[in-house]
Chain A
């Protein structure tokens, strides 16, 4: 196909849109969580003269729930981990689609590595409270995901440039 812009630009713009959509999804969920908390707290406040409402409860809910800490991390190491998960999810999805279209089935290997790591990290973070070993910054897994994402972006660009997409 002949295009007025370079093929790389096409790939990158589509990737940007995918990442934007994921971030918009995350933002809308977090807004939903905030509104949900307010609605529920208002309802609970109407019971028993308000003795069931916690002061500063939204803050406590956000830091005491591992799931909310996964979505809205408040520390540097956890922020890096969530961002790397987000990027890896977007890149792996797009890469999988490109591999399937260009019939490069060996692409399953880096995808498997990325997915395995993502599942491991999410599983660890959701069960963080019960762990008996030393606390970890999860830097190894974040760096691994970022490196794999970088490699996948590189390979995707090469596939798009070669015009191997059917």
Chain B
């Protein structure tokens, strides 16, 4: 016994270090043990062989980046040394986010208008999860508002003003989403930003340049009416969406010269629909810049008690002017849309429309989470061919386990993105 006691120090040290190493390695190894599966619910995986879905499932402390390519799922989990601040408000890529700002890459823009002047504020997103002001630009449009009804009505626009913004590289373009009550001259402006808070005395170099003039003569009494829905950048071209004579038109402009490169008039494809009455103006637009494709989706407003509202998804090829390559009326089942941290993507590939959506489960009887946002979420990948659903898959993860903390909770809940895993940077490739 004495011999052991005399010589136990160093072996004890070795034992302690071994225990620590084993514990540390087992925790580190557990980072890959989270559930991450891609399940086929309807159809065969052949349908997604030519499209890849990439993204990350992250919380503040770790991030699992995934890639579903040719039907196979690859994941890679990374641990952060220090908690990262995730932006608390997660935007859909195609539409205007909460609080009215629109995000392109790291830049955020929001617009204020006071009668004859529109001011566009830009902010840049920092690594710490919030954005800081960067620049301001001003536009003085020459449109005249003459509402048909109430004289004292305040300005109304077809869509929130941020729908008129588009960004190509460092350049930002803006057009006003006017309704049929406006006459005069609208335009697509190229904005020039000055440093936020330091308005220069001489505004000459910061005047927005009129790239394209859009006369609103069709809104004069006796005209057929024109409404601008918004602007979108496709590669280095600008797509202008408008409704003219009650029908959807899309025009493609060159962003340097303002030349009209092409025009798509949907009344030629299907004159039977009254577009203005059938669809809601708030479109979602997705761009595949590699293939110069613009995919726009419009939500249908059902007129008829029996007809289920559907979503019209149109895809345009911008490589040579504009060509309508697909028009599908799709219906996503009546799950509840996920507007906090949700994902919504559309794409068009080789004759198939691909949609990625996240949905919340409907209310169940045994509802444990008191708040709507806490219902379990599912991320689905849909493939439609000729408007028929040929494939539906789900990316199943452990993400819904994070809600357990909020079960049966009576007070408030912070939804801290540091402790809730969310899908970030989901994209179709």
- A binding-site residues for B, Cβ under 8 Å: 13, 16-17, 19-20, 23-24, 26-27, 30-31, 34, 51-52, 54-59, 62-64, 72, 74-78, 128-129, 132, 134-137
Q: Interface readout for B45-79 with A: 1 if CB under 8 Å, 0 if not? A: 00000000000000111100000000000000001
Q: Does B28 contact A23, Cβ atoms closer than 8 Å?
A: no
Tell me the residues in window 406-420 of chain B with beta carbons closer than 8 Å to chain A beta carbons: 407, 418-419
Q: Report A-chain residues with C-beta under 8 Å of the C-beta of B127.
A: 134
Q: How far is the CA of A80 from the CA of B237 in the complex (A)?
A: 52
A59–B19 touching, CB < 8 Å: no
By the criterion CB–CB under 8 Å, are A74 and B27 in contact? yes
Contact B20–A27 (Cβ < 8 Å):
yes
Complex: chain B residue closest to A49, CB-CB: B366
Minimum CB–CB distance for B404 against chain A, Å:
6
Residues on A with C-beta less than 8 A from B401 are: 54-55, 57
Contact assessment for A62 and B83 in the assembled complex, using a CB-CB cutoff below 8 Å: no
The docked-state distance in angstroms from the alpha carbon of A58 to that of B20 is 16
Which residues of chain B from 154 to 191 have any CB-CB distance to chain A below 8 Å in the complex? none
Given contacts A77-B81, A132-B128, contact A34 B62 (CB under 8 A): no
Cα–Cα distance between A57 and B35 once the two chains are bound (Å): 12
Contact call B83/A129, Cβ cutoff below 8 A = yes
Tell me the smallest distance from the CB of B414 to a CB of chain A, in Å.
12
**Considering the chains assembled together, what is the distance between the CA atoms of A128 and B46 in angstroms?**
46
Whether the pair B33, A56 counts as a contact (CB closer than 8 A) is yes
Determine if B79 and A74 form an interchain contact, defined as CB atoms under 8 angstroms apart: yes
Count contacts between A and B, CB distance < 8 Å.
90
A129 touches B27 (CB 8 A): no
User: Residues on B close to A: CB < 8 A?
Assistant: 9-10, 12-13, 15-17, 19-20, 23-24, 27-28, 30-31, 33-35, 59-62, 79-84, 127-128, 368, 398, 401-402, 404, 407, 418-419
User: Which residues of chain A have C-beta atoms less than 8 A from B28's C-beta?
Assistant: 74
B27 pairs with A23, CB closer than 8 A: no
Shortest distance in angstroms between A21's beta carbon and chain B's nearest beta carbon?
9
Query: For B79, what are the chain A residues with a Cβ–Cβ distance below 8 Å?
Result: 63, 74-75
Q: Which residue of A lies closest to B29 (CB)?
A: A59
B371 vs chain A, min Cβ distance (A): 17
Inter-subunit contact B60/A129 (CB<8 Å): yes
A129 touches B16 (CB 8 A): no
Contact B9 A16 (CB under 8 A): yes
Give Cα A26 to B60, complex, Å: 26
Query: Would you mind naming 29 contact pairs between A and B with Cβ atoms under 8 Å apart?
Result: A17-B9, A19-B13, A20-B13, A20-B16, A23-B13, A23-B16, A23-B20, A24-B12, A24-B16, A27-B16, A30-B19, A30-B20, A51-B368, A54-B398, A55-B34, A55-B35, A56-B34, A58-B30, A59-B33, A59-B34, A62-B27, A63-B61, A72-B24, A74-B27, A75-B79, A75-B81, A76-B81, A129-B83, A136-B82
